Structure 1
Amino acid sequence: MGRECNEWEQDEPLTPAGRLFAQPEMRQIIHCVIGTKNPLDIDFIKSELHNSAMLQHPRFTSLLVRDQRGREHWRPTEVDIDRHLLIIDRRLSRTDHDSAVNSYLADLSTEGLGMEKPLWEIHILRAHNCAIFRVHHSLGDGISLMSLLLASCRKLHDPRSLPTIASSSSSSRSRNKGWPNILWNLVVTLWFGFVFAVEFILRCVCVRDRKTPISGGAGVELWPRKIATASFSLQDMKTVKAAVPTATVNDVLFAVISSGISRYLDFREQNGVREGLQLTGLAMVNLRKQPGLQELSNLMTRNSGARWGNKFGMLLLPVYYHRSNNSDPLAYLKRAKAMIDRKKQSLEAHFSYRIGDLVMSTLGPKFASWLNYRILCNTTFTISNVVGPQEEIMMAGNPVTYLRANNSALPHALILNMVSYAGRADMQVQVAKDIIPDPEFLAKCFEDALIELKDHVTAKI
C-alpha cells in the first residue's frame, strides 16, 4: 500500500490535450519516417538512443496509467530500449523502396501502441534504409516531435551545427497603425471571428459536407489503408507564390490541394459532382508564441514560449470543385489566399483551441472526444504541414535522404501530411482504400497541379 501511494506521488497528470488523445475515439499515433543513404547500424542506434535527449525527457520514460477515478497520469519507469526497437531485415516487397515503405506504413496506420511500456517505438526496415519513429500523440504534437528529432541530427556539411529551421510566414494582415485602421481591423476580426465560430460549432453538431467519391464517415478509421507520396519542389512553390502579392507557401499548398482534388473528381465522377460543390478540409495549425521550430532545450524550458506538448488549433478550409479544363490555374491560388487570410484574421485557430480546452476542463475528455470525432465525420479531409530542415542533415553519422510523416487513421478517407526537407516537400497521401483505391493517381493529380501552376506563371513572365 505504501509503495502504491509513493508511485501516485511521483505521477504527473496529463495535459487536457494529452487526455483527449488518450480517448479511444481520438487515439492517434504519429509516424515520422526517416530515409537514410547507408544501411542502419543497429548497435550504433542503440548507443545513440541511450545518450539521446529523448530518454532525458520524462514523457518518453513514463507509462500512461489511470487512477481510480479514470484520470490519466504519467508514471516514471525504467526504459528497456530492446522492447522499443523492432528490427525487420527482410525486403518487404520486390517493388521500389517508397512503395514498400508506404505499404508498411499503411498497415501501421490502423495499429495502436501497447500500454505496458512508454508510448513510443522505432521500426527499422534495414533492407530499405528506413526508420519509422512511432509516437503517441499524447506525448506531443508534430512541432515538438520534429524538434526532438532534429536535436539528435547535425548538418551534413557542418557536423558541429544543428539543422536550420525556417520561421513561419508572417501574417499578411494590414500593419497600419492609425486609429481608423486599428478600429476597422478590430471590427473585421470580430465579425469574421463570430462567423467562423458559428460555422465551427455547427460543424461539430449538424452541418456536414455532401457525399462525394472521397468522403469518409463514422467507422472509416477502422478500414484498411493505402499510402502514396506526392513530391514537390519548394522552388516551384516559391515561383508560383511570387505571382500573387503577399501569398505564402501554405497558400500555394492549399491551391495545389484544391486543384488536385478537382482533377481527381473529374476522373472518378464525370457528371455526379456539381460545379462549385464545397468539400471541407480540417487543418492543424501551430499556436506556439515563437515562430518556427525551436531547439529541444527551449521546448523543455517551463518559462519558454515554445512549451513542449500539444498546442495547436483547427481551421475549417473549404475546397470548391471546379472542372479542371475550365479553370484559370491561378484562380485556385487567389481563392486559397483570400480564404486563408480571412481565417487568419478571424483567429479561428485560437478560438478552436480555447473552446477545446474549456470543454476538456468542464465537460471532460469523453465529451471533447465526441465533439472532435463529430467534426471529423462532418468534414472531408485532414491536412497538416510541418516545416523541416532547410539543408541536408545526418543522423548518427548517416546522411538523411528524406523526411516524411503521417498519423493513424481517422474517420476521413483522405489524410494529407506534408513535411519539407532540403528544398523538397513530400506529402503523404493516406486513403481508405475501399473508398479511394488509387492514391498513386491522386498523388500525381497534386503533383500535376503544381506543375501546371508553375508553367502558367513562367509563361506570363
Structure 2
Amino acid sequence: MGYDVLGRDDEPLSPTGKLFLQQDLYEVINCVMGLETSIDVEAIKVELKESAMIEHPRFCSLLVRDQNGNEYWRKTQVDLDKHLIVLEGRVGEGDDEEEIVNQYVADLAVSSPLDTDKPLWEFHCLMAHKCGVLRFHHALGDGISFMSLFLACCKRVGHPNQSSTLVSSCPSNLSKKSHSKSKVWNFVMVVWYSFLYITNFLLKTLWIKDRKTAISGGAGVELWPRKIAIAKLRLEDMKAVKRAMAGATINDVLFAIISCGLSRYLHYRTPKVQEGLKVTGIAMVNTRQLPGLQELSGMMRRFSKSRWGNDFGVYLLPVHCNESVATSLDYVKRAKEMIDKKKLSLEALFSHFVLAITTRLFGSKVTSFLYYRLVCNTTFLVSNVAGPQEEIRFAGHIIKFLRVNTSSLSHALQVNMVSYAGRADLQIMVAKDIIPDPEFLAKCFEESLMEMKDAATKLQS
C-alpha cells in the first residue's frame, strides 16, 4: 500500500482496527454459508447492490495511509465484479463435500489477505459445492457488528416481510433491586475479582506461559497449515443442559463442553498427563452496554449503546484437565461459577481499555507485540456469536448452515460457534501438524454434550 495525501472526509481507524492490520495479528473473518440450491451469481450481485452492506461506510471505503503511516478510511465507488470471486469447478479432491469446503476455508485462513485496492471484503462463490464464503477484514467490525449487518440483508424463510428473531440476551448477574448490604458485598466482590483477573491478565501477557501440551501452539504457528472439523451440536440439547443448572447460560454450557472435550482429548493423546493440568483459553467478550445482537439501524446511531465496530474485551478462561468429576454436569457447574466471577470483574473492560490506550500512547506495533505475547502464552481461542432462530434466505437462496472462523493465530486451536435455526456448529480450526485429528476432537465435544444432556434428563426426571 502506498502513501496518500489525507483528504478532508477521511476517517481514522479505531485502535482495534489498527491492531488487526499488524502482520502478527492480521485478522480476516470468514463466514461460510451452505445453500440448499445452486448459486445464482446474478441474484447475489443484485441483492448486494441493493443491500445495506454496500451503503455501509466501512464496506464502501478504501484503507489508505498518510505520509506518517497513519491508516484512514476513504469512501469509494464499489465495483461488485471485483468483490465477487466465482469458482466454477471443484475446489478440492474427494467425495466429501463438507471436507472439501472445510479445507478451502482452512487454506484461506492462512495465506489469503484481502486486496487493499478495494474495500476490505469479498464473496467467494463455490459453484460446484453450493456454498458461499463471505470474507471481511476484522478492522471493519467484530462478529456482533457483522451478524447484525448480514441479517439486515436476509429475509426469513416463509415470512419475507419479517426480520429474523434474535436470541435473547442473558440477564445480568447483579440485581437492580438488591439491598444495600448486597450492594456493598457485590462491590467488594467486583474489586477482589477484578484485582485477581487483571493481575492474571498482565502476568499472562508479560511473563507466564501455559505448560506445553499436545494442543499447544506458539510463535510462528500462525503460518502453519490448517485443518477444519465441525462439531455439530443441537441448540435444544444445550438448552436442556442449561435448564438443569439454575442461572446457567449457553456460554456456560459451551465452555463446559470445551473443558470436558479437551480433557478427553488430552487424555487420549497423552494418557499419563498430570492430573490437574491447566490450559488457558482466550474468550472474546462483547463490551457494549446493550448485550446480544441489535438491529443494524440502532447500531449505526451516533450515540448508540450498542454501536458498530470492534467493541470487545477478553476473558482468560482456564481449563483444568483430567480432574476427577462426579458427573459431566460438574463441568457445567464449574464453568458457571468461574464465568459468573469473570462477569463480576472488570477484566473484559480492562483488556479493551489497555488495547485502546496502549495504541494511542505507543502505537499499534507495541499493542500488537503485547497481544501476540498473550496469544503465544495461552493455548486456544473460543468465540460465540448468536445467529437467527429461524431459517433465512439470502438473495433467494435458503441458508442451510452458518459457520465462522478467522485468520489463523499462533494458537494451534481455535473454536468458533455460531447458532442458527436450532443448530450450534463449532468450527474447530487447528494447526494440523500439532493436532492431526480434529475430527476426533469434534467427536469429544459432541459426546461431552450428549453425556451432559443425559445427566440433565435424569436429574430432571
Q: Same fold (TM over 0.5)?
A: yes
Provide the residue aligned with 1:252 in structure 2: 253
Provide the residue aligned with 1:303 in structure 2: 303
Query: What are the superposed Cα offsets for residues 51-109 of structure 1, whole Å, 9 maximum, x if unpaired?
Result: 11111112111111111111101122222111111111112333222111101001100
Provide the residue aligned with 1:337 in structure 2: 336
Residues 382-401 of structure 1 mapped to structure 2, 5 A cutoff: 382-401=381-400
Cα distance in 2 for partners of 1:5, 1:22 equals 17
Provide the residue aligned with 2:263 in structure 1: 262
Q: CA deviation at 1:5?
A: 8.7
Is 1:449 the counterpart of 2:445? The answer is no
Contact 2:282–2:317 (CA under 8 A) maintained in structure 1:
yes
Query: What are the superposed Cα offsets for residues 388-430 of structure 1, whole Å, 9 maximum, x if unpaired?
Result: 0011111112211001100000000000000000111011000
Q: CA deviation at 1:328?
A: 2.0
Q: CA deviation at 1:6?
A: 7.6
Provide the residue aligned with 1:38 in structure 2: 37
Contact 2:29–2:405 (CA under 8 A) maintained in structure 1:
yes
Q: CA deviation at 1:36?
A: 1.1
Contact 1:278–1:321 (CA under 8 A) maintained in structure 2:
yes
Provide the residue aligned with 1:291 in structure 2: 291
Query: What are the superposed Cα offsets for residues 305-353 of structure 1, whole Å, 9 maximum, x if unpaired?
Result: 12111000100000000168x6521111111111000000012111111
Provide the residue aligned with 2:313 in structure 1: 313
Q: CA deviation at 1:176?
A: 4.9
Q: Secondary structure at the match of 1:343?
A: helix
Q: Secondary structure at the match of 1:383?
A: strand
Cα distance in 2 for partners of 1:91, 1:114 equals 24
Cα distance in 1 for partners of 2:280, 2:116 equals 34
Q: 1:428 to 1:344 in 2, by over 3 A?
A: same
The alignment's C-alpha RMSD in Å is 1.5
Residues 364-375 of structure 1 mapped to structure 2, 5 A cutoff: 364-375=363-374
Contact 1:256–1:446 (CA under 8 A) maintained in structure 2:
yes
Q: CA deviation at 1:171?
A: 2.7
Contact 2:48–2:54 (CA under 8 A) maintained in structure 1:
yes
Query: What are the superposed Cα offsets for residues 1-20 of structure 1, whole Å, 9 maximum, x if unpaired?
Result: xxx99862221111111111
Q: Secondary structure at the match of 1:60?
A: coil
Is 1:28 the counterpart of 2:63? The answer is no
Cα distance in 1 for partners of 2:141, 2:355 equals 16
Provide the residue aligned with 2:98 in structure 1: 98
Q: Residue type of the partner of 1:152? A: C
Q: CA deviation at 1:292?
A: 1.9
Cα distance in 2 for partners of 1:255, 1:95 equals 34
Unaligned stretches of 5+ residues in structure 1: none
Q: Secondary structure at the match of 1:386?
A: strand
Cα distance in 2 for partners of 1:350, 1:89 equals 46
Q: CA deviation at 1:236?
A: 0.7
Query: What are the superposed Cα offsets for residues 264-290 of structure 1, whole Å, 9 maximum, x if unpaired?
Result: 11111111x211111000000111222
If the length of structure 1 is used for normalisation, what is the TM-score?
0.96
Cα distance in 2 for partners of 1:212, 1:389 equals 37
Contact 1:313–1:350 (CA under 8 A) maintained in structure 2:
yes
Q: Secondary structure at the match of 1:217?
A: coil
Contact 1:54–1:148 (CA under 8 A) maintained in structure 2:
yes
Is 1:113 the counterpart of 2:134? The answer is no
Residues 114-263 of structure 1 mapped to structure 2, 5 A cutoff: 114-173=115-174, 175-263=176-264
Residues 4-15 of structure 1 mapped to structure 2, 5 A cutoff: 8-15=7-14
Unaligned stretches of 5+ residues in structure 2: none
Contact 1:376–1:412 (CA under 8 A) maintained in structure 2:
yes
Q: Secondary structure at the match of 2:271?
A: coil
Cα distance in 1 for partners of 2:236, 2:87 equals 36
Contact 2:225–2:433 (CA under 8 A) maintained in structure 1:
yes
Contact 1:84–1:122 (CA under 8 A) maintained in structure 2:
yes
State the identity as a percent: 54
Q: Secondary structure at the match of 1:31?
A: strand
Q: 1:355 to 1:6 in 2, by over 3 A?
A: closer
Residues 44-55 of structure 1 mapped to structure 2, 5 A cutoff: 44-55=43-54
Q: CA deviation at 1:34?
A: 1.0
Cα distance in 2 for partners of 1:449, 1:220 equals 28
Q: Secondary structure at the match of 1:58?
A: coil
Q: 1:5 to 1:119 in 2, by over 3 A?
A: closer
Cα distance in 1 for partners of 2:331, 2:295 equals 36
Query: What are the superposed Cα offsets for residues 191-246 of structure 1, whole Å, 9 maximum, x if unpaired?
Result: 11011111100011001100000000000000000001111111111111111111
Q: 1:6 to 1:255 in 2, by over 3 A?
A: closer
Tell me the matched-pair count: 456
